[in-house]
Copies of this chain bind each other. A is one copy, B any other.
Amino acid sequence: MAGLTNQRIDGARLWQTLMAMAEIGATLKGGVRRISLSETDRQGRARFAAWCEEAGLRVRVDSMGNMFARREGRDSTRAPVLFGSHLDSQPTGGKFDGALGVIAGLEVMRSLNDLGIVTEAPLELVNWTDEEGTRFGRAMMGSGVWAGLFEEAAIKALKDEDGVSVGAALAAIGYEGEVPARAFAADALFELHIEQGPILEAEEKTIGVVTGAQAQIWYEAVVTGQDAHAGTTPPVKRRDALVAAARVIGLVDALMREQGETGIADPGRGTVGRLYVSPNSPNVIPGEVRFTVDFRSPEDARIAEIAEIFPVKAAALVAANGCELALKTVFRVPAQPFDAGCVDLVRQAAKKLGFSSREMVSGAGHDAVHTATVIPTAMIFCSCKDGLSHNEAESILPEEAEAGTQVLFEAVVARANRSLR
């Protein structure tokens, strides 16, 4: 493959920098709590910006707080090649989900400096705002606005549980930039991320060549019954919203398992991740339960089927328990294929470097899934221990981080140096 450099990134520096970022929001159990637009997020951003400046990159921030750290190319009129991920985490997240892609990108920049390489096209390292969606309920927020999938004003008006809006939180940490948050002419985007699943590890593969992302449908459900005294209200009079919600949780699990439950590559995903009970008092039959539901599949057809079946079955179960169901589709995204050319750069880089690899579909949402709707995009996965993520015990080996970063380096440089003729 033309364009491969045979140059090596610095694995030790990469690891050291990952660990330095993990200090910010470090939890007692070895994980990270760096919730989007919080004070710890601000600290993480500031440390990242300082590192970028030390590396000679020019940092700009857009109106959604997305950060772009630019390294000029030989031809500054060319559209830049983007790469990066996100620095925010789940409430009890790990050290690598998101941070790996950003810090690996920094290592790419540093290595280029060390090696004295100037690429043809400019390069831009990105830290997207609020990929996790844990605080304001909208995942991949910054990249979604950037790609034109979400309306900026509506996103900025979203509030967290304390009533703080996205706009206010951005301003509070000083990251509401003046550059408009919208897609600009970019040549491509590459995102390195941990797999967050068990497949690479089980098959002893080093690199996941990600060909696209799953179709998804997300709901917000509200089950309404009637709160009443737990000690006096007889079975026939009960309209217990939690009993009804429990049936729906069982339905979500059953619909997931219909798609296979025997192997690690089974495609079914269906989860109730967040649930609130009201009034939530030990002596009161719950009158209302609110919860999230998400289903994912590599197949658009399966999600279409779920969109038909689930609301009907769920409503019937809830009604059979004397309650009512209000179900709102929060978002629905089709399966998103990545750019064939970019995917091939990843495939070739892994091969040239001698890493075992496997083609796969991303189970998780990623900022790259949003950018893929407007610019050529690909992703690189590296293995993580026990497939565990969104967990403080999330873990990868230094050599896994290094391998993924080396692939990122090769793919980025190849794309930036490609002939445009």
Binding site for B on A (CB under 8 A): 90-92, 132-134, 137, 139, 195-198, 214, 216, 218, 226-237, 240, 242-243, 245-247, 249-250, 253, 256-257, 259-269, 271-287, 292, 294, 296, 362-365, 387-391
A234–B265 CB distance below 8 A: yes
List the B side residues contacting A391 at CB < 8 Å.
Answer: 226-228, 284, 287
In the bound complex, CA of A389 to CA of B230 (Å): 9
Most interface-central of A229, A278, A365 (chain B CB within 10 A): A229
Residues from chain B with Cβ under 8 Å of A264 in the complex = 234, 236-237
What chain B residues lie within 8 Å of A363 (beta carbons)?
A: 229, 231-233
CA–CA, A269 and B229, complex, Å: 10
Instruction: Report Cα–Cα, A141/B8, bound state, in Å.
Output: 68
Residues of B within 8 A of A283 (CB): 90, 132-134, 139, 271, 273, 294, 364-365, 390
Contact A277:B280 (CB < 8 A) given known A232-B195, A269-B230, A390-B228? no
Q: How far is the CA of A234 from the CA of B198 in the complex (A)?
A: 8
CA A267 to CA B231, docked complex, whole Å:
10
Contacts of A253 in B (CB 8 A): 240, 243
Contact partners of A195 in chain B: CB under 8 A: 232
Asked if A196 and B232 make an inter-chain contact with CB atoms under 8 angstroms apart, the answer reads yes
Tell me how far the C-beta of A208 lies from the nearest C-beta in chain B, rounded to whole angstroms. Answer: 11
Given the known interface contacts A275-B242, A281-B274, the answer about A232 and B389 at a Cβ–Cβ threshold of 8 Å is yes
Interface centre among A197, A230, A275, A296 (most CB of B within 10 A): A230
> In whole Å, how far is A137's beta carbon from the nearest beta carbon of chain B?
7
Name the distance in Å between A197's Cβ and chain B's nearest Cβ: 3
Contacts of A234 in B (CB 8 A): 197-198, 260-261, 263-269
Residues of B within 8 A of A245 (CB): 246
Shortest A255–chain B CB gap in Å is 11
Complex A-B: 9 CB contacts under 8 Å: A228-B391, A229-B390, A230-B269, A232-B362, A234-B264, A246-B246, A247-B250, A274-B277, A285-B390
3 smallest A-B Cβ distances: which pairs? A197-B232, A232-B363, A235-B261
Q: Are B273 and A284 touching (Cβ within 8 A)?
A: yes
Assess the B240–A261 pair: CB atoms within 8 A: no
User: Nearest B residue to A281 by beta-carbon distance?
Assistant: B134
Which residues of B sit under 8 angstroms from A235, Cβ to Cβ?
Answer: 256-257, 259-261, 266, 268
Asked if B273 and A281 sit within 8 Å, CB to CB, the answer is: yes
A272 to B243, CA, bound (A): 8
Known: A90-B279, A276-B280. 10 other contacts (CB 8 A): A90-B281, A196-B233, A228-B389, A230-B273, A233-B387, A235-B256, A236-B262, A243-B272, A273-B283, A283-B390
- Cβ B286 vs Cβ A227 within 8 A: no
Nearest CB of chain B from residue A203's CB, rounded to whole Å: 13
A272 to B225 CA separation, bound complex (whole angstroms)? 14
- Measured CB to CB, the closest approach of chain B to A298, in angstroms, equals 11
Across the interface, do A92 and B227 meet the contact criterion of CB distance under 8 Å? yes
Separation of A341 and B132 alpha carbons in the complex (Å): 65
Contact check, B387 vs A237: say whether CB atoms are below 8 A apart. Answer: yes
CB distance from A127 to the nearest CB of B (A): 19
Kindly state the separation between the CA atoms of A270 and B199 in the bound complex, as whole angstroms.
Answer: 42
A70 vs B227: C-alpha distance when bound (angstroms): 37
Question: A388 — which chain B residues lie within 8 A by C-beta?
Answer: 226, 228
What is the distance, in angstroms, from A251's C-beta to the closest C-beta of chain B?
10
The smallest C-beta distance from A414 to any residue of chain B, in angstroms, reads: 28
| Residues in chain B near residue A91, CB distance under 8 A | 279-281
